Each structure stands twice: as structure tokens, then as C-alpha cells.
Amino acid sequence: MITVENLTKRYGAQRAVDDVSFTCEPGTVTGFLGPNGAGKSTTMRMICGLTPPTSGSATVSGVPYRRLGNPGRHVGVLLDASAQHAGRTGRETLALAAMTMGLDTARVPERLARVGLNATAGKRRVRAYSLGMRQRLGLAYAMLGDPAVLILDEPANGLDPEGIFWMRGLLREFADRGGTVLLSSHLLREVEAVADRLVMIGGGRILTQGDKDVLLGAGGTVVRPEDPAAFDALLRRLELTGSRSADGTVLVQSEPAPIARAAAATGVVLLEVRPAGAGGLEEMFLRLTGTTDPTEVTR
């Protein structure tokens, strides 16, 4: 289990992460999403003890990461696949990690094979690996100690479609056995396919979080008014409330027809009226963050 409580990180006057709280339960995959500069990587680095928070706390299985004894046996971390020692072979990389964790190095060939790296690949220097191969090696490293928790930042980078499908199955199997996964990825459709819960961050703050099916199945109507003030007045007359998003749309808990009829009767111009949730995770991401390019979710 991962617990993040009121986590904040300031760099001078700038708040990179601002009062962020969420939990990742055993048996679930949590998709951690946000546009560039949203604070995702900083949050994950604080969870892993690499960046000290200004305030707040983060624990893994009830303990701060830095206080975990032999942390690789409790939590597997993949934050940067390119950080591996380029001069070692894949097999040497895992063997050294196994010795550090007090594990039998005899498990190394099986762990390489589990992530799709055969004996030949295991003997190659990491400098000769493609990005996709480094990602696979990084996953093998993260899972080497049979941890209960995985924290993964963009693990699908460099993988081909078959590799992405394989990774989805690997993470789903891990969670279904009771593991906890925190997954950051710019591949929104893959996150939608594998995640049980979603945490979306923007400007260092939580924009929304909850069960994926609940968030994507939320009812209501998305409206884009030409004159926001006039539309707010209309909502007050209808005794409805609206939640404004970064892209200028308003989510109203009502069916589309009554809103459209009332707007037409009062001369309020609506540029867009549609049911909420119709576009899946990508639509929700764009609406909440105001990002025009859904691939801009990597940091």
C-alpha cells in the first residue's frame, strides 16, 4: 500500500507539488496522470525517498521509504530506465542487485526470461540495449526482490505494441495477486485498459481521483459557453451547479436537453453541449487539464 498525505515540495517560491494526498491499495493498479510539469515525477521521487518533501509525508506499507530495511524486497522502483550502468551486461546488472538484496543469483536467468530477455540478451552490455530492452531490464530489476509494491514512471517507453500488451498483462497479473502498482504513463489508452483507480494532477495539485469506472462513467453534461458569466447566471436560475475545467468547459449534473432549451430561451450562446464521459480517459484528461495534446503527459 502507498499512502501520500498532504505532500508538498517547494523550490524557492515555486510549488512543484502542492498538498497532494492519495492512496494506492493492494490488489489495484493506480494510473498517475498529468501534463508536462504537473508534478508527477517529483511526487514519485518523494515517495521513493529521492527528493525530500517540504511538508507532508509518503509511506510504503506504512513506512517511509528511507526507513525500509532492504527496500528492494518491499518495493520495486523504475523511474529512469536509462540510469542503468551501460558497461554491465543485463545478467550482471541483475546478479549484482540480487547480491545486494541477499538473494540467490540463480534466479537471474528466470527473471530475465520473464521480461522477454533471453540468454543472448542477458550477455549483452546494456549500452547495446534498445530503450525497450532497457525498460524490460528495469522491470526485471524492480521485480527481482518479489516486492509487494511497484512504482513505475513511463515503463512502456520504447516498447512496441506487442511489448505494451505484454506489460499490461504483467502489471494486471501482479495486482491480481494482491500487489500494489503506481503507474505513470503518457499512453492514456493503456492506462485506461489496465488501471483500477486514477489520480490526475495538474499544476502540482490533484485535479481528480477515484475509481476509474466511476470517474469515466460520471453522468452530467459538458457545456462550453460563449459567455461564462451569462451561463453561470443561467445555472443559478435553474438551481444547478457547474464545475469549470481548465479548457473552459463546465460539467453540469443535468441532462443536455433542459440546459439547451433554457439557454435558447434566454439567449445564452452555447458553443458545445454533450454528455459527459463519452470520450473516455483521453476526453477527461483534456477537459480537466486544458492540454491540447494528450501526449504531453510525461512529467
Q: Which residue has the higher pLDDT, 1 or 285?
A: 1
236 — pLDDT class (breaks 50, 70, 90): very high
Please tell me whether residues 48 and 113 are part of one structural domain.
yes
Judge whether 215 and 284 are in contact, CB under 8 Å: yes
292: in domain: no
Please tell me whether residues 130 and 264 are part of one structural domain.
no
> How many CB atoms are located within 10 Å of the residue 267 CB?
9
Please tell me whether residues 132 and 266 are part of one structural domain.
no
User: What letters, b where the CB count within 10 A reaches 16 and e where it falls short, cover 25-55?
Assistant: eeebbbbbbbbeebbbbbbbbbbbbebebee
Please tell me whether residues 139 and 42 are part of one structural domain.
yes
Please tell me whether residues 179 and 94 are part of one structural domain.
yes
197: in domain: yes
Q: Is the pLDDT of residue 298 over 80?
A: no
User: What is the domain range of residue 227?
Assistant: 219-276
pTM of the model: 0.79
Question: What is the average pLDDT across 261-271?
Answer: 93
66: in domain: yes
Give 52's DSSP letter: -
- In order of 71, 78, 154, 162, the CA distances from 178 in angstroms are 18, 19, 22, 25
pLDDT in tens, 71-121: 999 999 999 888 889 999 999 999 999 999 999 999 999 999 999 999 999
291 — pLDDT class (breaks 50, 70, 90): low
Please tell me whether residues 197 and 76 are part of one structural domain.
yes
Instruction: Give me the percent of the chain exceeding a pLDDT of 70.
Output: 94
277 — pLDDT class (breaks 50, 70, 90): low
CATH code for the domain in which residue 121 is found? 3.40.50.300
Please tell me whether residues 65 and 147 are part of one structural domain.
yes
CATH code for the domain in which residue 243 is found? 3.30.70
pLDDT in tens, 124-146: 999 999 999 999 999 999 999 99
Please tell me whether residues 50 and 150 are part of one structural domain.
yes
Please tell me whether residues 41 and 184 are part of one structural domain.
yes
200: in domain: yes
Place of cell 476509474: 212
Please tell me whether residues 145 and 225 are part of one structural domain.
no
Q: Work out how many domains the chain is built from and give that number.
A: 2
Please tell me whether residues 89 and 150 are part of one structural domain.
yes
Please tell me whether residues 243 and 107 are part of one structural domain.
no
Question: What is the average pLDDT across 285-297?
Answer: 58
- In order of 27, 70, 148, the CA distances from 199 in angstroms are 16, 28, 20
